[in-house]
Structure 1
Amino acid sequence: MHALRHFYASVLLDAGESIKALAEYLGHSDPGLTLKVYAHLMPSSRDRARKALGRALRPQDPGA
């Protein structure tokens, strides 16, 4: 059962779900606990943040 719970959390985090939402789904009263347990499953968070900032700061094409 623990492995299934871990798999569930890893799939949601990989899809970009927030720690706060995941904590709620898992029944954790404190998102800090969820972050402590599952932070290692978020290796791409820096890359996602970099890409999000890149999109936000990219000059907009007025013809698009």
Structure 2
Amino acid sequence: MNRMLKVDLNRASKEQLLSIPGIGEEQAAAIIDYRKTHGRFRRVEEIALATTLPGVTIDDLLDRVEV
């Protein structure tokens, strides 16, 4: 079975974040800034506190990211 590796929001580099569909330069920078300011994400849903994701829902990200 071919299993997709999830990107860890708490450890991901900018390049890794950019590999997620719907995450662009601005969103990746905002996620990294949020981590620096607020510490670790505790739930994937907290990404909404860090940045807006035009055209992407939290449900779209659940298969691609983890904390």
**Would the TM-score normalized by the shorter structure come out above 0.5?**
no
Write 1 or 2 for the structure with the bigger share of strand: 2
Answer with 1 or 2: which has the greater Rg. 1
| TM-score, normalised via structure 1 length | 0.31
In the superposition, the TM-score normalised over structure 2's length comes to 0.30
